[in-house]
Amino acid sequence: MKILMVGDVVGRTGRYFFMEQTPELRQAKKIDVVVVNGENAAHGKGLTPSIFSDLIKGGADVVTSGNHIWDNPKVLEIIDTEPFLLRPANYPEDTPGRGFCIFPVGRKKIGVINLSGRTFMQPQLDDPFRLTEKILKLMRKDCDAILVDFHAEATSEKLAFANYFDGQVTAVVGTHTHVQTADEKILPKGTAYITDLGMVGAQNSILGMTVEPVIKRFLTGRPSKFEVAEGAAVYCAVLIDIDDKKNKPTKIERILLKENSSR
């Protein structure tokens, strides 16, 4: 079985490139499941029903998110009804939506858990370590593989989480920073890992946003309005190969696609 986990999709540029490249990747690499982080897909912040539908039509099976999931209130129209749209599980219990799901693929069942880190992150949510222990007690007996999207800022927190659950989950991938790291590996007890998937968005940007307003904020210390960048896009992801008999990852491959022509 092959699983593609895709970094944060940023705005229209990212959506279009995701929808263009994902079907081709699925066919070329014979991919069984696609998990993508969509929290920045609606003009850089949040998600709407129509954009969620675009991601699904474009090849996504499960859409995860993070701290920006609530930035567009239209997400509340679907957060309770779409079984494969996730928000971080460590929000308070009465928060709309769900933090984990089980996606069926033929005779296999793939568990996906979405979590938020706490170091340098707002808001401060429940302990993702202890919560994951509880979730695994519910999911482990029903799932052939369990994937974790750990949406966090600090590399140390992502590494600590992955090593703590090494051998207990199939993969831990980091999201949130929009910068793809080059540390993909299989950890000693068998969990596939990368610190950050990166993003799907404009190449000539600052984390998917136009450059000038971001520089202005750093230079002046005053607020400036950010806009989603356009132009040639980048597509960041990892492809994880899983042994069908042992249900263990055998390989994790970093994917970095760059569009040549400008929009």
Per-residue pLDDT tens over the stretch 156-172? 999 999 999 999 999 99
Contacts of 97 (CB under 8 A, 6+ apart): 69, 79, 80, 85, 86, 87
Tokens of 74: 């239209």
- What's the number of CA atoms in the CB half-sphere (13 Å) around residue 234? 20
Q: Does pLDDT of 263 surpass 60? A: no
| Alpha-carbon span 185 to 83, nearest angstrom | 30
pLDDT value, residue 116: 98
Is 68 an annotated catalytic residue? yes
Q: Any idea which residue has 């997400």 for tokens? A: 75
Architecture of domain 2-203+230-258: 4-Layer Sandwich (3.60)
Residue range 123-128: average pLDDT?
A: 95
Residue range 227-255: average pLDDT?
A: 97
Q: Which candidate in 43, 68, 151, 176 is catalytic?
A: 68
Q: Tell me the three state secondary structure of residue 58.
A: coil
Per-residue pLDDT tens over the stretch 2-52? 999 999 999 999 999 999 999 999 999 999 999 999 999 999 999 999 999
Residue range 178-185: average pLDDT?
A: 98
Residue 247 CB neighbours (<10 A): 15
Domain boundaries, the chain: 2-203+230-258
pLDDT value, residue 261: 58
Residue type, 16: Y
pLDDT value, residue 260: 86
The predicted model scores a pTM of 0.96
